[in-house]
Amino acid sequence: MEPVFIFIIVILLWIVLVQFNSKRKLKKDLFDIQAKLAEIIDQETSEKLLLQTDYTVIQQFLIQINRLLDYNQKIIADYAKTKLELQKMLANMSHDLKTPLTVILGYVEKLKIDETMSEEERKETVANLYRKTTSVISLINQFFDLVRLESGDSILPLDRVHINEVCRKNVLDFYGLLQAKKLQVEVEIPEEPLYILGNEQALNRVLSNLISNAISYGNDGHVIGITLRESGNNIAVEVWDKGRGISEIDQERVFERLYTLDDARNQAFQGSGLGLSITKRLVEAMRGTIRAESKPYIKTVFTCKFRKISY
């Protein structure tokens, strides 16, 4: 046999051997990937697929698998968080409804049983019964408002809003309460008319919630304020006070649905943890942003920013 033919045969055998080893290595890599992936899924761990391989295509394949595993972990974590929030919601709503309903039942039994009650006492009891019933209805409405906002069933029509007038109106609405609590009020609203893309009804509720919050939890600072200013292409509305403030951890979580602590400011909304959540979602529905900053007894500010439009 000619040497050249022997050389060719050797080369062909070498190629076949290399291909065989390559396929065997590829098969082993794929088997290892399958086994490890099955282990991660069965044991519900947060591990990633790590494999030493020379195949570029498998390296890219592993990257995409790990991205999918990350996404799966996020879905699992979000589900667990939502489940916990729903449990907390039921517990909070049960607690927040049980107390006033017990009081209401007490008033009803008093009206029904106490035949010696004077007309003045009867009127006072009926007035108390009315106030408690109204507070329960308000709490239930807040709950359903938040459900509608989060489900996307409530779509706010957006239009041009003269925000100067809305701010002035909301300050005037609280004038009596501010006087009764002997709070100093500082208002900075420019004379120049400013317009935003928003919804006047929703904006009234946002400002009402924030001003109520400042009065309830900032009154120990003896001053609250509202500032309207331009901020680049946006209009910023700041509702602030100089009260006890919000801890740093609460600043990060105060807008979360159902987040309440003994010192959390959203206790102002019957302790349900719904008020500031509704406020945030209303602001976002108007394509705006809201954030909280606080330095206790120096200044606590809730800042809403909305898109500025020309008039």
Q: What is the CATH number of the domain that holds 118?
A: 1.10.287.130
Of 102, 131, 151, which marks where a domain is finished?
151
Tell me the percentage of the chain whose pLDDT exceeds 70.
84
Of 104, 119, 151, which marks where a domain is finished?
151
Domain with 129, as residue range(s), is 88-151
pLDDT value, residue 20: 62
Indicate whether 122 and 23 sit together in one domain.
Answer: no
Domains in the chain: how many in total? 3
Indicate whether 208 and 299 sit together in one domain.
Answer: yes
CB atoms within 10 A of CB 30: 15
Distances 162 to 111, 200, 205, 289, 305 between C-alpha atoms, Å: 49, 9, 15, 18, 14
Is the dihedral angle over the CA atoms 149, 151, 153, 156 positive or is it negative? Answer: positive
Indicate whether 251 and 207 sit together in one domain.
Answer: yes
Token pair 């006033």 in the structure block, residue: 100
CA distance 159 to 182: 37
- Which letter does DSSP use for residue 220 in this model? G
The answer to whether residue 21 sits within a structural domain is yes
The answer to whether residue 24 sits within a structural domain is yes
Token pair 């060719």 in the structure block, residue: 8
pLDDT value, residue 300: 93
SS3 label, residue 152: coil
The answer to whether residue 83 sits within a structural domain is no
Residue in 227, 216, 135, 129 with CA at minimum distance from that of residue 180: 216
Token pair 């909070």 in the structure block, residue: 92
Indicate whether 290 and 217 sit together in one domain.
Answer: yes
Indicate whether 291 and 175 sit together in one domain.
Answer: yes
pLDDT value, residue 21: 67
pLDDT value, residue 211: 93
Indicate whether 118 and 256 sit together in one domain.
Answer: no
Indicate whether 166 and 298 sit together in one domain.
Answer: yes
Indicate whether 303 and 171 sit together in one domain.
Answer: yes
Indicate whether 53 and 120 sit together in one domain.
Answer: no
The answer to whether residue 218 sits within a structural domain is yes
Question: What backbone torsions phi and psi does residue 296 show, to the nearest 5 degrees?
Answer: -50, 130
Q: How many residues does the chain have?
A: 311
The answer to whether residue 81 sits within a structural domain is no
Could you report the average pLDDT of every consecutive run of 10 residues in the chain (311 residues)?
Answer: 62 68 72 78 77 75 83 85 74 71 86 85 88 81 74 78 95 88 93 93 91 87 94 94 85 70 42 73 93 91 93 67
CA distance 163 to 190: 10
Indicate whether 143 and 45 sit together in one domain.
Answer: no
Contact predicate 278/142, CB 8 Å: yes
Indicate whether 100 and 236 sit together in one domain.
Answer: no
Q: Is the pTM of this model over 0.85?
A: no
Q: What is the CATH number of the domain that holds 163?
A: 3.30.565.10
